[in-house]
Amino acid sequence: MTFKNFSYLFPGYPIFCIISALLSIIPIPSHYRAGNIAIIAIGLWSFGGNVIAATNTIVWHGNLRNPHPVWGDISQAYFSVMNFGLSSATLHVQYTLWRVARNRKLWMTPRQRRWQKFWAYFFGYGVPILFVVLHYIVQGHRYNVVEDLGPTPTTYLTTMSFAIYYIWDPIFCIIAFVFAILTFITCRRYQKEVTNMFNLSKKHSANEYRRLFLLTGVLVFIHFPFTFWVVVVNAVKYDVDPWISWDDTHFDYMRIEYWSRSVVESIDGMAAGWSVSYWAVGLTGYFYFLCYGTGSESLRQYKQAIS
């Protein structure tokens, strides 16, 4: 076994991802009944990423075949925006927690509820779809097929890549962290009113709210260093070219590059850097289940399902 390429991932990594995918979908039914659209989105983004990662590392273990190019397009598009799906949906969850603390009420008018759903869907799914389009602007060619990993996204490193793509994931995390601080300050300032609000509620409790706030904050705190690391590595380790034109970036766009184990080994630090990214995908399901699948309401529904 060597860590100079990605051959070590099989079979442990796909098993790890399959378990992660299962953990991602377990909490979804309870949150569906509660109408937590953004929390469901986090679980679905984690589930999809782990299914694709597990599939690719099984199918492409030890080979560079490309039997279904459309699957390669799906894989690269999904992985190019998965982080945005996680961070933007988490941002909306944290904003919602702050809004509840600021307004000190849990009920909403029908109009407010409609807008709440609209923004939840927008941040959970609309923002990532927007970044599929933005990534295409700086996508140098169709995708790469990496031995042991399968199809992977490709981004032509220019100044434009940072302005419209790389920088936004950490920005979402920073905004979410600001809302977390505001939520904490607001809850401290209006502690009595917030406690009374939950005491009058039959569906929600103060303990559940605090738990959701703390775990969502931890999720942001963990996600931010990774996204910031991606930006720094791409800015410092690799050459960043100036943006010239659309035609320059998309020259010979339809080509697919094939990277064997020997090519991976020849690129200093590639195996280590990409390994961090891929194991981070696998960890998302475990963190998601810990944050959103172990609350008292979720545990109660698990017991009902088993019985």
Dist. CA 245–CA 253, nearest whole Å: 14
Model confidence band, residue 3 (pLDDT cutoffs 50, 70, 90): confident
Q: Please compute the mean of the pLDDT values over residues 157-178 and round it to a whole number.
A: 95
Nearest to 52 by CA among 85, 4, 91, 87: 85
Q: Please compute the mean of the pLDDT values over residues 63-68 and round it to a whole number.
A: 94
Query: Left if phi > 0, otherwise alpha if psi is -120 to 50, otherwise beta: which for 270?
Result: alpha
Q: With pLDDT > 90 as the criterion, what percentage of the chain qualifies?
A: 71
Residue 300 has pLDDT above 90, yes or no: no
The reported pLDDT for the residue numbered 219 is 79
Q: Please compute the mean of the pLDDT values over residues 107-130 and round it to a whole number.
A: 94
The reported pLDDT for the residue numbered 17 is 98
Residue 1 has pLDDT above 60, yes or no: no
- Greater confidence, 161 or 217? 161
Per DSSP, helices labelled H in the chain are: 12-25, 28-34, 37-59, 69-103, 110-121, 127-137, 159-161, 168-189, 191-199, 206-236, 246-249, 261-266, 270-292, 296-306
